[in-house]
Amino acid sequence: MNKIYIIAISSIVAMCLGGCGEENNNSNSRTSYIDKTGEKIDVEIADNISLNASVPKEERELFTYKVCDRPLDINEEAGVFGVKLENGEMNDENNFYDFGNGAYFSASDGNIEYVSDERYNTLNEMVYEYYQDDDSSDDNINKAQVERATELLTAGLKLSENEELYLIHAKKLDNEAYQEGKKYLEEDMGFGEGKMEAKEADRIVSDSTYYYSFGIKIDGIPISNFKEASLNYTSEDSYGKQLSIEMIMDDNNVKYILSDGIEELESSEDKSLISIDEAISKLKEKYDVQIVPEKEEINNIRLEYIPLFDVNNSAGSMEPYWCFYYKDGRTDAFNALTGGDLAYE
């Protein structure tokens, strides 16, 4: 059965070894950056498709995993991130603590959300809308703060020794950033008036207020995520989950967290990986029978894990894919074990 392939800003999943429901003790808190260097490939895929990108280093043996939602306890998570639950009121129906004025904290299977002040929610929205297509980060990032954020997220997300956070974006939240985002929403996106005036932004930011987004690598291979990937996948009987790890910090204090799509690895199996040459051959075969009306360029190739779930079952599987990213935002992905096209598997 053909599956529907939807192009969108998206992505997927964080996890750790051990069966679902088992406690996992974690000491790893490393942070790294994705290495985008490698052998350069310049080849024509089809009449209107060119590939000009660096190829990541290949690993001939990779793991496939069975996954399920990672159990997270709201009291434990509040302790990790320094949230005082006694200052809020528990909403039993939706399993979150309400602190009033738009502030809340929640933690459930696969998800953590914290808003210390509703204005941080607005700032995060501004950063997301304005910078979502921006691959750059501020040069003078607060390295000590990044290390602290990594330490907290490693503990809170219960990462195992084979998992590693890597920094995707770091943006200083100041009045200039707020004004740029506000202008973008109002003038470019047509969202109308901004949600708060600049003076309100000034009251909750300082020289040490930063927005961060992170990804996760498993044994050195990144999990596809909403900040870097542009694919979302669903069909009548299966779907892909999204990974989102965002944080706002002021000094060493957590002000905002959105972490979603956190999964637990239940078991694994090692298998051989097809080469990038084989994956490119699969890509060429696909467009031998498809007409591409306008010129397109592939400017990024990544080997990534993509988790897929059965709509009738909370369990899923995660396998590696060769992902080809186009300049216009769309993506082709081929199973790095079988060569199957994600759009039609």
Query: Would you place residue 175 in the very low, low, confident or very high pLDDT band (cuts 50, 70, 90)?
Result: low
Q: 17-26, 62-71, 74-83, 162-171 — which one is most confidently predicted on average?
A: 74-83
Q: What is the pLDDT of residue 52?
A: 92
Among 129-133, 136-140, 238-242, 281-285, whose mean pLDDT is lowest?
Answer: 129-133
Per residue in 309-332, pLDDT (tens digit) is: 877 777 788 888 999 999 887 889
For helices 74-81 and 143-156, the axis angle rounded to 10 degrees is: 170
Q: What is the pLDDT of residue 284?
A: 95
Q: What is the pLDDT of residue 37?
A: 47
Q: What is the mean pLDDT of residues 71-96?
A: 91
Q: Where is pLDDT greater, at 230 or 326? A: 326
Q: What is the pLDDT of residue 258?
A: 92
Domain range list for the chain:
72-218+244-263
Q: What is the pLDDT of residue 32?
A: 38
How many helices (H) and strands (E) the chain has is answered by 6, 20
Q: What is the pLDDT of residue 87?
A: 94
Q: What is the pLDDT of residue 192?
A: 47
pLDDT at residue 12 tops 50: no
Q: What is the pLDDT of residue 117?
A: 86
CA-wise closest residue to 275 among 51, 30, 60: 60
The SS3 of residue 11 is coil
Q: What is the pLDDT of residue 92?
A: 75
Cα(51)–Cα(297) distance, integer angstroms: 6
Q: What is the pLDDT of residue 267?
A: 74
| DSSP-derived pairing of the beta strands 229-234 and 31-32 | unpaired
Whole-Å CA distances, 248 to 106, 132, 214, 262, 317: 16, 16, 12, 19, 31
pLDDT at residue 49 tops 70: yes
Q: Where is pLDDT greater, at 235 or 114? A: 114
Q: Long-range contacts for 333-341 (Cβ within 8 Å, ≥24 apart)?
A: 333/231, 333/304, 333/306, 334/279, 334/282, 334/283, 336/62, 336/273, 336/274, 336/279, 336/303, 337/62, 337/64, 337/271, 337/272, 337/273, 337/274, 338/274, 339/274, 339/278, 339/279, 339/282, 341/282, 341/286
Specify the amino acid at residue 117.
D
pTM beyond 0.75, yes or no = yes
pLDDT at residue 106 tops 50: yes
Q: Cβ(176)–Cβ(202) under 8 Å?
A: no
Q: What is the pLDDT of residue 196?
A: 46
Cα(277)–Cα(80) distance, integer angstroms: 45
Q: What does 27-61 look like in DSSP terms, one character per residue?
A: ----EE-----SEEEEEEEETTEEEEEEEPPP-SE
Whole-Å CA distances, 262 to 70, 95, 154: 6, 17, 12
Q: Where is pLDDT greater, at 270 or 306? A: 306
